[in-house]
Amino acid sequence: MPGLGKVRTGVALLGVAALGAVAITVGIDRLRDISPFAPPEQCTATVDGTTVTLDPEQAENAALITAIAVSRGLPARAATIALATAYQESKIVNLEYGDADSLGLFQQRPSQGWGTEEEVLDPVYATNAFYDALEKVDGYRSMEVTVAAQTVQRSAFPDAYADHEADARVLASALTGNSPAAFTCRVEGDAAAAPDGLSDSGLVRRADVVRREALAVFGDLSLGGFEPGGVSTGHMEGSAHYEGRAVDIFFRPVNDTTNVRGWAVAHYLVAQAERLDIQTVIFDAKIWSARRSDDGWRDYDAPDRAGDPAILEHRDHVHVDVFD
């Protein structure tokens, strides 16, 4: 599994290393002047009438924890257990302190063999370490969430994880893609960034970061909508693809299984939208846009032109583009 550095450390920082391959580090520092009357940036997951609210940092971490479960082929229940644990241990924040030598999202202790300080402060390493331990728990899929979490963590407060089970279930259902269009974020809605030239992939730097992160987090994905030197045909007039700002992530054939996977990726991208300068995410005839993020997911009006409805309505692919 590739490793991502700390998802957020005041300045948004992302490091991606594919099994010892080239590390990619991207820093985005934003200075905001927000009116006290402006709505706060926050993310929500709503499933079966229950809404869970997270701040952007919590949302980034929760989405990463869940995405790693998806990439490992683990059930949504594994994500529920991990999220309930992170809620209890750190409030889903990558803490650089804790009781004794406990650190990170899961307050793992280097002295107890969880890894070095640097490793347990890496959200990807820490999350994979948690899942490695969870998968060794015989019958964890049918255990009570708090029992499974305690078996991994061996906490002094073994029943505390139950306090967060309901919220963790809502988040896991949304972020694994089992509840479509159930996770959204309210963000600033604009990005102050200098114009980019095209990278070797044919994407501007910010879009290429999104491409590489999607591959690092979810593994082998089918990508398109770009090519070295850029694209000039195949998309509607004015498309962000022609500017190298857009990536398509395909989920074919269109069926229930690929739909769930697509929503997992779409929700992950929305959770990371602020950090990655994402402007638009479209999937399954739904659209989320940073500039209208107060509206959450909206119905997507497909272009009025000939073509396969599955493609025009984005039912077979997630479209993601970044600010210009």
Per-residue pLDDT of the chain (324 residues; tens, 9 = 90+): 444 544 553 333 333 333 333 333 333 333 333 344 455 799 999 999 999 999 999 999 999 999 999 999 999 999 999 999 999 999 999 999 988 899 999 999 999 999 999 999 999 999 999 999 999 999 999 999 999 999 999 876 778 899 999 999 999 999 999 999 999 999 987 765 666 789 999 999 999 999 999 999 999 999 999 999 999 988 888 899 999 999 999 999 999 999 999 999 999 999 999 999 999 999 999 999 999 999 999 999 988 777 788 999 999 999 999 998
pLDDT in the model for residue 152: 96
| Rounded-to-integer distance, Cα 239 and Cα 242, Å | 6
Q: Which of 57, 60, 74, 109 is nearest to 1 (CA)?
A: 74
Residue 134: per-residue pLDDT: 98
Say if residue 140 is exposed, middle or buried (CB neighbours under 10 Å; 0-12, 13-18, 19+).
Answer: buried
Q: Residue 157's pLDDT is what? A: 73
Sheet order of strands, 23-28 included:
3-4, 12-17, 23-28
- Is 234:312 a contact under the CB 8 Å cutoff? no
Per-residue confidence (pLDDT) for residue 280, from 0 to 100: 98
Measured distance CA(174)–CA(268) in Å, rounded: 10
Task: Kindly write down the DSSP assignment for every residue of 153-210, as one continuous string.
Answer: H--SSTTGGGGGHHHHHHHHHHHTTSSTT-EEEE-----------B-TTSSBHHHHHH
> Looking at residue 11, what DSSP letter applies?
B
pLDDT of residue 79: 98
How does DSSP classify residue 152?
Answer: H
Domains of the chain, by residue range, sit at: 3-179, 193-322
Dmax over CA atoms of the chain, in Å, equals 64
pLDDT value at position 193? 60
